[in-house]
Amino acid sequence: MRLIPSKTSSSSSKHIALTRIRFGIIAIVVALIYYWSIQGMHFEGLQSTAGTVSRSILQGFLHPDWSFVYLAEGEDLLRGLLDTLIISILGTVVAAITCIPFAFWASSNMSRHLATSGSGKIILSIIRVFPEIIVAILFIKAVGPGSFAGVLALGIHSIGMLGKLYSETIESIDHGPEEALIASGANRLQVLRYAVLPQVIPQFLSYSLYRFEINIRSATTLGLVGAGGIGTPLIFALQVRNWNRVGIILLGIIFLVVMTDLISGWVRKRII
Amino acid sequence: MRAPLPTPSQPSPPVVDIQPPLRYKRYAGWILLILIIVMCSIQTKVTPYQLITGLPQMGQLLKEMFPPDWSYIPTIWAPMMETVQIAILGTTIGGIIAVPVALLCSYNIMPNRFIALPVRMILNLVRTIPDLLFAAIFVAVFGIGPFAGMLALVFFSFGIIAKLTFEAIEAIDPGPLEAMTAVGASRLQVIRFGVLPQALPYFMSYLLYTFEVNVRAASVLGLVGAGGIGLLLDRSLGLFRYDRACVIILLTLVIVLIIDYSSTWIRRKLL
């Protein structure tokens, strides 16, 4: 704390004292927060069956149920993973298209009034706050369980983040081409088509792919509430404590996530 | 939030044929994309028509949500606070475990790649497993309740914080480290006086960021029985009490927004 030991003026020692007081207050507040949190965490002790359950979980993960990878009658791992992949592709596409008007709405350089872009930004952040699982539950109630609810949930939830990233891209474009076009008499639509879009499309695609990587991870759990994909067989396997099956599904999820990350990362590198 | 896995550098494929004009290539890309979308919607039978027919149902649901049942707030206050407590403890414990692991897999602290590389692979694996899955497994072991949810968030935050922190450690200024090594400081002294002061603000910032993510995650952990507000949400939806579900969602929204804004404010002060 003693950064300036040579200066023994009263102001520096006062400064040190102030820093110490502030540090002390922060420490007390943090300690209180933790005290409060631990109060709420009532640990009932291990279940009497915890030992055997852990052992069977470990057994299940070490011996995954390979027969589940492909079943003739359907509802197997491969189809579940394919569903998950499709849900996240469609969800990302829905969001990538729907968020464009939101993005232009929220960009401060696209409207004259600050209130316009400000309200757009607020709407986007409200959309971002809802966890996709909650959105999925609402859509299941509206359109019934299945992949469609999953697609809608990811589509709506992703608008929040994609809209924000898109609008930041729009705000950072080079205004040279735009001004040149306006000067030569282009209308607003032409400016949009020939000056704005060529600059933002590669970045839009890259962000959409990034969101796709996130959506793959979310889509694996959407099935836990009934919105299609690999989560549906997963929750069944968890409910009946079929750990061998949970093990193979977990392997499948890891495989899918790693593969899509590799491919999407490669494509992203080529786009920009 | 969930950062993409670092991709190993790919060997560039050898160019065999003459490059077609860029325009055709771009069109081919768009057509491929549209084909994929069409194939996807055929496979899952998801069509825009369905969307249009589903919209009135969505409107009906929203209509049933209002007016919200405000008298439900005292009932949901305790579970809501439990959600925050789960997030606080899960993030903190995960963050504490993440520190030694992040040090282990930073190349500038641990030049031995035989240790760093496997640790990084384990980190990548941990990050592919969704938080709800962790929660479901821990509920099976530790029983229904907030403790299982906290453990799930410990693993979840550990994956995020360790990755972000080791990247921050690798980006620190090597000058002080070299100076200390030159005057004979031990590895531990280098970490304490060279790495820690530089990396701590970043670590705290990542901790807060993960906390924001975890509050959202904790609000749905209850769906698999891991404590917090999610259980009540599931129950109200199951009983078709949409007015209560609406209160839960709105309260979650308010709490998350408050935490987001205060955490962002603290983060800006830290960095």
**Domain presence at residue B106:** yes
Quote the pLDDT of residue B95: 93
Mean pLDDT calculated for residue range A242-271: 87
Cis amide bond preceding B100, omega within 30: no
- Asked if B237 is an interface residue toward chain A (Cβ–Cβ < 8 A), one would say yes
Taking a contact as any Cβ pair under 8 Å apart, which residues of chain B between 64 and 83 contact chain A? 81-82
- Asked if B32 is an interface residue toward chain A (Cβ–Cβ < 8 A), one would say no
Mean pLDDT calculated for residue range A58-84: 80
Cβ distance B43 to A38 less than 8 Å, yes or no, reads: no
Higher pLDDT, A271 or B133: B133
**Domain presence at residue B44:** no
Q: Where are the domains of chain A?
A: 66-271
pLDDT digits (tens, 9 = 90+) for B218-259: 888 888 888 888 888 888 887 878 888 888 888 888 888 888
Cβ-proximal residues to B47 (8 Å cutoff; 6+ apart), any chain: B41
Which among A169, A208, A176, A171 has a CA at the least distance from the CA of A194?
A176
- Does residue B3 surpass a pLDDT of 50? no
Q: Which of A140-154, B50-64, B89-103, B167-181 has the lowest mean pLDDT?
A: B50-64
Taking a contact as any Cβ pair under 8 Å apart, which residues of chain A between 75 and 114 contact chain B? 82-83, 86-87, 89-90, 93
Taking a contact as any Cβ pair under 8 Å apart, which residues of chain B between 104 and 163 contact chain A? 124-125, 128-133, 136-137, 140-143, 145-147, 150
Distances (CA, A) of B2 to A108, B106, B126: 28, 20, 12
CA distance A13 to chain B (A): 23
Quote the pLDDT of residue B5: 43
Cβ distance A44 to B40 less than 8 Å, yes or no, reads: no
Instruction: Count residue pairs from A and B with Cβ separation < 8 A.
Output: 162
Higher pLDDT, A195 or B25: A195
The answer to whether B199 and B270 have CB atoms below 8 angstroms apart is no
**Nearest C-alpha in B relative to A231:** B133
Indicate the number of domains in chain B: 1
**Domain presence at residue B76:** yes
- Does residue B94 surpass a pLDDT of 90? yes
**Domain presence at residue B192:** yes
Q: Which CATH number do you get for residue B83?
A: 1.10.3720.10
The answer to whether B154 and B239 have CB atoms below 8 angstroms apart is no
pLDDT digits (tens, 9 = 90+) for B158-208: 999 998 898 888 888 888 888 888 998 888 888 888 888 888 888 888 898
> What does the angle CA A145 – CA A149 – CA A154 come to, to the nearest 5 degrees?
145
Q: How confident is the model at residue B32 (pLDDT cuts 50, 70, 90)?
A: confident
Cβ distance A90 to B40 less than 8 Å, yes or no, reads: yes
**Domain presence at residue B178:** yes
Quote the pLDDT of residue B153: 92
- Asked if B239 is an interface residue toward chain A (Cβ–Cβ < 8 A), one would say no
Cα dihedral B265, A158, B203, B222 in deg (nearest 10): 90
**Domain presence at residue B12:** no
Task: Name which of B45, B142, B233 to mutate to probe chain A: the one with the most chain A Cβ atoms within 10 A of its Cβ.
Answer: B142
Cα dihedral B102, B104, B107, B113 in deg (nearest 10): -140
- Does residue B26 surpass a pLDDT of 70? yes
Considering only CB atoms, A86 lies closest to which of B44, B219, B224, namely B44
**Nearest C-alpha in B relative to A131:** B216
Q: How confident is the model at residue B97 (pLDDT cuts 50, 70, 90)?
A: very high
**Domain presence at residue B37:** no
Q: Which domain holds residue B120?
A: 67-270
**Domain presence at residue B167:** yes
Higher pLDDT, B95 or A140: B95
Homologous superfamily of A66-271: MetI-like (1.10.3720.10)
Mean pLDDT calculated for residue range A209-217: 89
ipTM confidence score: 0.75
**How would you class B173 by CB atoms within 10 Å of its CB: exposed for 0-12, middle for 13-18, buried for 19 or more?**
exposed
The answer to whether B153 and B213 have CB atoms below 8 angstroms apart is no
pLDDT digits (tens, 9 = 90+) for A162-185: 998 998 888 888 888 888 888 998
* AA identity, residue A178: E
What share of residues in chain B are helix, strand, coil (percent, to 5)? 80, 0, 20
Quote the pLDDT of residue A159: 92
Q: Which of A110-114, A213-217, B8-12 has the lowest mean pLDDT?
A: B8-12
- Does residue A161 surpass a pLDDT of 80? yes
Quote the pLDDT of residue B15: 52
CA distance A143 to chain B (A): 6
Quote the pLDDT of residue A2: 47
